[in-house]
Amino acid sequence: MAARSRPKIYLAGPEVFLPNAREIGEAKVALARAAGFEAVFPLDPSLEIAHLAKPEQARRIYDADVGLMNACDLAILNMTPFRGVSMDAGTAFEAGYMRAQGKPVFGYSNVAADLKARSLAWRQAAPALVDADRPDVVIEDFGLAENLMIAVAVRQSGGTVVSRRVARGAEMTDLEGFKACLAEARTVLRVGA
């Protein structure tokens, strides 16, 4: 990586939905910078889309995010479960998008329980929601933190999903797992080597 000293990270995760999203994004960008990277957080107030019709707003955000992904060299995924057993669906989409371009993806989850344990807990909680799960539907049992497509994508990038238990309520904001991903990325991309 001598020719390019600062690989560019796409910061994927549902924290874009937080009221203090910009603050979290700035904290992640600063940590990435201190670790030898550039980083982009896909929350761009300059889009100025509020006056547009909703489908057009969605399209502009999509195009902006895809443009950022195309310009980045790797991604770090916040894989913390979001409104269900699994990670945010948009973040999963972005993981696949980056991997198809051959770019490494690293990931962390601020919930320590693995996918199997979370899926079993889901059935016990039995929330009254329309959902395709049923008692006879297989639960993946590979000891992985997430659906194998994403967990193996992280492994084949040279990382491992960093799963940590954090204080209840800090699942979206705790950045220790993110720091561990930065350390993995430094090794794999030989940043500072």
CA distance 191 to 158: 14
The residues pairing with 40 across neighbouring beta strands, listed in sequence order, are 10
**Cβ 117 to its own copies, closest distance in Å?**
10
Residue number, 6 or 122, with CB nearest to its own copies: 122
**Cβ 75 to its own copies, closest distance in Å?**
11
Strands 38-40 and 74-78: unpaired
Residue number, 45 or 127, with CB nearest to its own copies: 127
Residue number, 49 or 180, with CB nearest to its own copies: 49
Most distant CA pair in the chain: distance in Å? 55
CA distance 180 to 162: 7
Question: Which candidate, 189, 9, 179, places its Cα nearest to that of 108?
Answer: 179
**Cβ 128 to its own copies, closest distance in Å?**
5
Cβ proximity of 94 and 12 under 8 Å? yes
**Cβ 161 to its own copies, closest distance in Å?**
12
Residue number, 28 or 118, with CB nearest to its own copies: 118
Residue number, 35 or 80, with CB nearest to its own copies: 80
Terminal Cα distance for the chain, rounded: 9
**Cβ 55 to its own copies, closest distance in Å?**
7
CA distance 120 to 114: 10
